Amino acid sequence: MEIIPVIDLKGGVVVRARMGRRDQYRPIATPLAATSDPVDVARGLLSVFPFRTLYVADLDAIEGRGNCAPVLARLNAAFPQLRLWVDNGLEAAAARAWLDGASDLVLGSEAQRDAGAVEGLKSDPRIILSLDFRGDAFIGPQALLDTPEIWPRRIIVMTLARVGSGAGPDLERLAAIRRVCGDRRVYAAGGVRHAGDLAELNRHGIAGALVASALHDGRLARADIEAL
Look up the pTM and report it: 0.93
How much of the chain exceeds pLDDT 70, in percent? 96
Q: Tell me the pLDDT of the chain averaged across its residues.
A: 92
Q: Using CA atoms, how far apart are residues 3 and 161, in angstroms rounded to an integer? A: 20
How much of the chain exceeds pLDDT 90, in percent? 79
> 48 vs 3, 75, 197, 214, 215, CA distance in Å?
12, 17, 18, 11, 8
Q: Using CA atoms, how far apart are residues 186 and 51, in angstroms rounded to an integer? A: 18
Q: What domains can be seen in the chain, in order of their start residue?
A: 2-227 (3.20.20.70)
69-99 per-position pLDDT tens digit? 899 999 999 999 999 999 999 999 999 889 8
> 167 vs 36, 175, 188, 200, CA distance in Å?
25, 17, 13, 14
Mean pLDDT of 192-205: 94
For residue 21, what pLDDT is reported?
A: 64
